[in-house]
A and B are shown apart, each in its own frame.
Chain A
Amino acid sequence: MRITCPLCGERDRREFYYVGDAVALNRPDPDAGDVVWDDYVHNRDNPAGVTRDLWYHESGCASWIVVTRNTITHEVLETALASDVKEATS
């Protein structure tokens, strides 16, 4: 599997560290309530298909990257700097 880092270009998967669902970018308001926080901390979908993860370019440029990929075909559909994604949504 190869992942295209928005800064470094296409690199081997071994350079990256898998962090988890990109839901971590959507941290709820501190006062959002127990149900919302419980969902944010504990509940994750396990899709057979397209998923959005955070990866860390550990032994490259040290960027956090949002990777959109397909868990069935292993296709990497899109990558973007997490900072850009966060700025676009805030």
Chain B
Amino acid sequence: MAELLAKSPCDGLLPVTHGSVTLSEMDMTHLTSVAPYKGRDADVSDTLKQAHGMAFPAPNRATGKEGARAVWFGRGQAMLIGPFPDAALSADAAVSDQSDAWALVRLEGADCENVLARLVPVDLRQSVFKRGHTVRTQLQHMTVSITRTGDNAFLIMTFRSMAKTLVHDLETAMQGVAARGTG
């Protein structure tokens, strides 16, 4: 019988560093889409708080912290990142496992805002996009979720099938920013 090996979406591609910015892959973990049924948002939020320690995020926001995060993921939907989902969530929400479907990378370093400014049509500067803020938008032509996880750190998620393109586009922008130098 064939021996199957688990491969992460960016296996063999990351980490890379250019200038002050490092792009690395997040460790694979549980990813769960949680979509509350109509009118049950408060119940889902209560369950999330009890079971996983974070409320259901408002639009454009993420709750929780490293290791157990809930990221708003579109209208009426959040992605639970980290914990294995509590069974009680299924009572009030459509819950589906997405663990292998998304590539998760971390963009970190002093110039990371400048890198994203080359690729994303949304203002992600610290003054307007603070820690715990998130957006669903495009990176080049890819649909992504971008969350600020620190002063100089972003969590970027895209479809697993686009992992190589994501790395290529980010690395190209990183090289451009590094070549130009800060300021």
> Which parts of A36-83 form the interface with B (CB within 8 Å)?
58-63, 81
Most buried by A among B59, B74, B136: B136
B136 touches A14 (CB 8 A): no
A59-B74 contact given A7-B60, A8-B59, A8-B60, CB 8 Å threshold: no
- Contact among A59, A62, A63, A81 with B137 in the assembled complex (CB-CB below 8 Å): A59
Interface residues of B (CB under 8 A from A): 59-60, 74-75, 121-122, 135-138, 143
B121 touches A12 (CB 8 A): yes
A60 touches B137 (CB 8 A): yes
B135 touches A8 (CB 8 A): yes
**Smallest distance from the beta carbon of A10 to chain B beta carbons, Å?**
9
- Chain B residues positioned under 8 Å from A86 (CB to CB): none
**Smallest distance from the beta carbon of B56 to chain A beta carbons, Å?**
14
Interface residues of A (CB under 8 A from B): 7-9, 11-12, 14-15, 58-63, 81
- Chain B residues positioned under 8 Å from A62 (CB to CB): 74-75, 136
- Chain B residues positioned under 8 Å from A15 (CB to CB): 121, 137-138
When C-beta atoms are compared, the residue in chain A nearest to B121 turns out to be A12
The main secondary structure of chain A at its interface with chain B is loop
When C-beta atoms are compared, the residue in chain A nearest to B135 turns out to be A8
- Chain A residues positioned under 8 Å from B138 (CB to CB): 14-15, 59
**Smallest distance from the beta carbon of A59 to chain B beta carbons, Å?**
5
What are 13 A-B residue pairs whose CB atoms fall within 8 Å in the complex?
A: A7-B60, A7-B75, A8-B59, A8-B136, A8-B137, A14-B138, A15-B121, A59-B143, A60-B135, A61-B75, A62-B74, A63-B74, A63-B75
When C-beta atoms are compared, the residue in chain B nearest to A7 turns out to be B59
A59 touches B136 (CB 8 A): yes
Q: A61 CA to B75 CA in the complex, in Å? A: 5
A11 touches B137 (CB 8 A): yes
When C-beta atoms are compared, the residue in chain B nearest to A62 turns out to be B74
